[in-house]
Amino acid sequence: MLDPKNQRDASRAGEERGAHSEKDLTQMGMGKMAIDRSDVDVETEDVLSPATPRTQHSSERRGHGNISFPNNLSWARRKSKVVANQTKQWYKKYACHMLLKQREIPRSNDGRHISLDLSRTTPLVDERTGKHYVNNTIRSSRYTIWTFLPLQLWFQFTKIANLYFLIMGILQLIPGLSTTGTYTTILPLLFFLSFSIAREGYDDFRRYRLDRVENRRLARVLRDSSWTAAAGKTIRSFASIAGESWKESKSIARRIGPKNDIEASPVTSDPKLYSGSKESSTASPPPESENSAWATVKWIDLKVGDVIEIRRDEQLPADIVLLYSDGRDGIAYIETMALDGETNLKCRRPPDELAKRCGTVTDLARCRANFAVEDPNLDLYDFHGKVSLDASTLPLTLENVIFRGSTLRNTKRAVGMIVNTGEECKIRMNANKKPQTKAPAIQYMTNRVVILLTIFVILLSIGCTAGYEIWTPVFENRAWYLDDAHLPLEEIFIAFAIEFNNLIPLALYVSLEIIKFAQFLLLQDIEMYDPVSDTPVVCNTQTIFENLGQVGYIFSDKTGTLTENVMRFRKMGIAGTAWRHKDRKEATCDGNESTGNTQPRIEIDEPSPQDQELSTDGLLQYIQLHPSAPFTAKAQIFLLALALCHTCFPETQANGDIAFQATSPDETALVEAAQDLGYLLVDRSTHSATLLTQLSGTDSETREKYEILDVIEFSSKRKRMSVIVKFADGRICLLCKGADSVILPRLKVDEKRARDASPSEQRKRKSIDEMRVAKMRRSMQEDSMNSLERLSIGMGRPELSRLSSDLGFRLSVGFERAHETLHTARGYWREKSVPSSDPALAVRRVVEEAQSLDDAAILERCRQQIDDFACEGLRTLVYGYRLLGEAEYASWHKTYHEATTSLTNRQEMIEAAASKGVPETIEKLQRANIKIWMLTGDKRETAINIAHSARICKPYSQVVILDQASGDLEQKLTSTLLEVSTSNHTVVVIDGQTLVSIEKNETLTSIFYELLLVVGAVICCRASPSQKASIVKNIRRKLPKSITLAIGDGGNDIAMIQEAHVGVGISGKEGLQAARVADYSIAQFRFLQRLLLVHGHWNYVRTAKYILLTFWKEMLFYSVQIMYQRWNGYTGTSLYESNSLTVWNTLFTSLPVMLPGIFEQNLSAETLLAVPELYGYGQESKGFDMWKYTWWMLMAAFESQVLWWMTYFLFGVVPITDDQSLFAIGNLAFSVCVVFINVKLLILQFHHKTWIPLFGAALTISGWWAWNLFLSAIYYKNPGPYTVYHAFTSQFGKNPTWWAVFVLICLVMFICEVVVEVLGRWWGKDLVAVWQELEQDKTIRKRLKEEGGEGGYGLMN
């Protein structure tokens, strides 16, 4: 226990504040730093250099101890590593150093030296480079004006098809080689590349504009002018100057107008994150002299060494050393959610001696402090430096600095000096500096197909060339009219390669760009629009829509993504009784909850009348009516514990209300709950707390003052907090709160029970606990098994039931809305709470029954309540107290480490207000076979609690914690891997440092990633931004076939968002840092459900179908051309007329493939949301894989044979036709292709039939006949292979045989198509086909609509 004088020192020490004195901390932080500058060069190199964080050293040393015998495999690995290292060195030496003039910045000897000098007029020089320090510009765009075109050209030509078309286009430019024209390939290619590059440039330009907005935000800098006029004015009056700057920035924004968003006002985070943030500082109009002391500048103009002022709720523009804070005891509270993901506020304070010398403007002007700080590095959890003041040297540690991305909370203003700017700030050092251009995963399969088709074209050209060489002596040499017409071997080969190059259609990529743009427009779904924040879905990248339908891993931040970071007091248990609490905000907003809330919380279902819980209103009435009852005394001490056992400070707002400054939102929730229950904290100092108590139903108020003797703050090691207070009557009381696993074993009754229990009783208790867990698991399994099997029985559709049985697929949809709340574990206190028409009578019954219980029974009820509350997704906390005697306290105070804890249990509940729909969304994503990882900078316990609230962890999940400090990791990993097969759902919890240790050992890495393939979820806590990105990168490398998605809302998530295949940003309370660089931006996490399961699935199906159909129709069309080569002597003569061939892809077959790529919906949105298992269609690439491609190509080959041979025998060689010219035969085959392709793709194969595909088919077919009329009218009557002039209108167009053959061929091909489709549906029915049939039933469709919801969220609303 800390005494009052050491309490301040304890708060400075960090998490383990009672472990070291201030002297020890000074020696630990800067023990190697000498006072004399001459000594620093040698002694502080390891302290100030940007070395690897110290926490890694031990693991690195241990890694060198593993020695293995060499073998071939290890030799090969070492050899490959040597080659890779040599390649990297060559690239750095010649490419980076010599060509690009890029050199690594060397480390400084003793860090960077910065003097506090307001009279300085020139920027400081970086000792490492000899140039000025980098400016405060940040860049999240992928390209610069110099790198954009080279990188885009490289990216575009990494697509095999583009490279292929470039080669073909160049060959076509050579005179005499091409039989299809000179510019028919190169011009469309240039147009397509220009369009793609321009679109990428536009997307990146939008990122640049957002960067520009942030770079031009406004900050207040202290300048050296008019110091005399400003002398004596304390920094406490700087708020008025800030107010003037704020007005000035608003006027600038008004002058610029909405069309130019380059200038921006000072960045201010949402003031509603904490209740203490509701008050804004107000001040009178500033004097002219004070305005001259501070200047409003843009963030981009800030320099190292500048002194800046930060006001409440503003973000830091750069890394600073704190010089002054007007907070209590000089403490500045900061929120680092955007930096490291942690939700708790952190305390920062300037060094004491420095704060004394920087209290006024005059002092700042006269102070000549010299700072020596570490070089810029990635470590967010450590900082080393020193400051020299006259003859004294003070250490600078993490508690003296504030990093960019942090937000000042609960402190009106602070002043600091900039030490790092721009890309050298910690948050930017952790960002991904070289984000890759993202490509769709389906492009890999497309490239494989293009390579195969390239090989096929080469082989086909070789075969036709050989045929020409065989035909030459047989026929060409004997034909007098072919004298001197023989072509060289290489020319005929190139001619055939050019003729057949359209087997790889250039239109595939041109039309795909149009399809992507249409998909971009269709993504503007009203169901993903948040009306409260007026935020729609935003697409920043248009190239990877199909990746949304193939995601296998989701990496999610916690803060602001899965939670609102807002806590509400929900339920409490006192002496065996349970009470439901509704705060005043809820009471006033009942029935209209969404107003004023950007992210409404999840509502827990209200209990039914027959299972009604007691309200805290009834508790207050009972206390008022029975002030002397034993239960009243227990309830009052519990309420006192709520109001006193914390570290909050109250403050009076402008409207007279009381708000609280707290280091975490859960403490705010507790104190506000005490306020709702009549115990209002009105004043708090280091040694006292004043409460204003008021009983329900009365107007009388009582002011009570309590002396605070000692405070032991919460730490992750102790998992509890204790406060010792002295009441007005002199009694001393110990109040304690903490995790149930820590508090319950320290209870007096629990100790006695454990001491007196026999071995058989202990085994019985363990058996009861195991039965309770088993009951929870069975209940969860039963709830998750609500399925469509009932529908199969009751809908009169036995064939569907048989079909599902044959497939071995359980149609588990959960139409009865499976809750994960364990309703079976209601608890003894609910069973005995008989409802009554008189609430007071019901309260009295429950209280009287509780008073009849002994301590052991109360403890058992307490345990049951903890289980019940936890199963409802609430976070649990246990309170206890003990009265201490004077002598006992005095003895304990002297012997701090011998404190005893014999407590009487009290318990309460807090709800982590998760973003609306988060648990339901995660549940459906898990059903979609998406593995969800939570990567957060928070502590392990906090991360696990949030995972339970968000249903990443189930109540029945087996949680496995991997910690390098707990023992042999290899043994732990191996045993866990063996146990996973017997567990229903396993969640692996690992911290960032343990992950680093695992990745250094190849054996551990292999076992670890094998484990990840079978576990249900992974939680990585204490992960820095760079570690988050590294985790995503490793998963991409270990599982190259899996698509990763990273989602977050803060600056600490930028690196992993850029590293993942798909990055999703949430426009949350942490600002737009993540949304600015993400591929997609949404307002709430719940929209991810519709983005992936609906739009992701649709876009994958559309893109896959478009690519497949494009390859199919080209193979069908040109296979007929290939068959005709035998009849023209392999000379390359085309069967089709050249003008028709030119517009083949543009006019006659563009709509049949583009309309499915834009409007196809193989399943309804309701079905996709109700049955997330259907998402596996994209994950397994069933829409476009090698087997499906091969099948469609075989069908194209078969259909082309039917088409050619029927055309040849029924029209080409029969004597009853009048016109058997090449144009008539070619036009017949062309017409059949146009009609068959349009009807098949837009009618037979189009599932989501609307007027659009029907109109497209009718338009294209009618357009083809109009084209024939047009050709007949405009063609000249010139000699040539194609007699087009009036051929359609006057010759074969009037021939009944031509039309009869045309109709007959179409009918035969349609019959073949229908037969193949029916047989495929009968024998090869997959899950999608099953549900396509099921949703045709009106009753099932209605149930699907109820589950999936008309708006896409069904029962979540």
1172 vs 868: CA distance, rounded Å: 29
In this structure, the number of other CB atoms found within 10 A of the CB of residue 72 comes to 7
For 185, 932, 1042, the CA distances from 1010, given in Å and listed in that order, are 48, 16, 14
Instruction: State both tokens at 1191.
Output: 């099948």
Instruction: State both tokens at 1292.
Output: 């074969």
In this structure, the number of other CB atoms found within 10 A of the CB of residue 1180 comes to 13
Q: Are 1152 and 1242 in contact (CB under 8 A)?
A: yes
Strands 1017-1021 vs 931-935: parallel, antiparallel or unpaired: parallel
614 CB contacts (<8 Å, ≥6 apart)? 577, 578, 579, 580, 833, 842, 843, 846
3-class DSSP assignment, residue 1351: coil
1239 vs 1258: CA distance, rounded Å: 9
Q: Are 133 and 124 in contact (CB under 8 A)?
A: yes
Strands 702-712 vs 688-693: parallel, antiparallel or unpaired: antiparallel
Residue among 306, 313, 375, 557 flagged as catalytic: 557
Edge-to-edge strands of the sheet including 319-325?
A: 294-298, 218-222, 307-311, 413-420, 319-325, 401-402
Q: Are 1170 and 1344 in contact (CB under 8 A)?
A: yes
871 vs 775: CA distance, rounded Å: 12
Give the DSSP per-residue string, 623-689: HHH-TTSHHHHHHHHHHHHHHHSS--EEEE-TTS-EEEE-SSHHHHHHHHHHHHTTEEEEEE-SSEE
Instruction: State both tokens at 1119.
Output: 């296979």
Q: Are 317 and 404 in contact (CB under 8 A)?
A: yes
| Number of residues written out for the chain | 1357
73 CB contacts (<8 Å, ≥6 apart)? none
536 vs 409: CA distance, rounded Å: 29
Q: What kind and span of H or E run contains 691?
A: strand 688-693
Q: What share of the chain is helix, strand, coil (3-state, %, to 5)?
A: 50, 15, 35
Q: Are 1327 and 1173 in contact (CB under 8 A)?
A: yes
Closest alpha carbon to 1112 in 493, 453, 600: 453
Q: Amino acid letter at 183?
A: Y
848 vs 828: CA distance, rounded Å: 15
Q: How far apart are the first and last CA of the chain?
A: 49
3-class DSSP assignment, residue 458: helix
Cβ neighbourhood burial of 610 (10 Å; 0-12, 13-18, 19+): exposed
Backbone angles phi, psi at 1157, to 5 degrees: -70, -15
Give the DSSP per-residue string, 551-577: EEEEEE-STTTTEEEEEEEEEEEETTE
Q: Amino acid letter at 1110?
A: T
Backbone angles phi, psi at 888, to 5 degrees: -65, -40
3-class DSSP assignment, residue 535: strand
Q: Are 515 and 507 in contact (CB under 8 A)?
A: no
**Helix residue spans in 127-268 (DSSP H):** 148-157, 160-172, 186-215, 227-230, 238-256
Q: Is 557 a residue of the active site?
A: yes
Catalytic residue numbers?
557
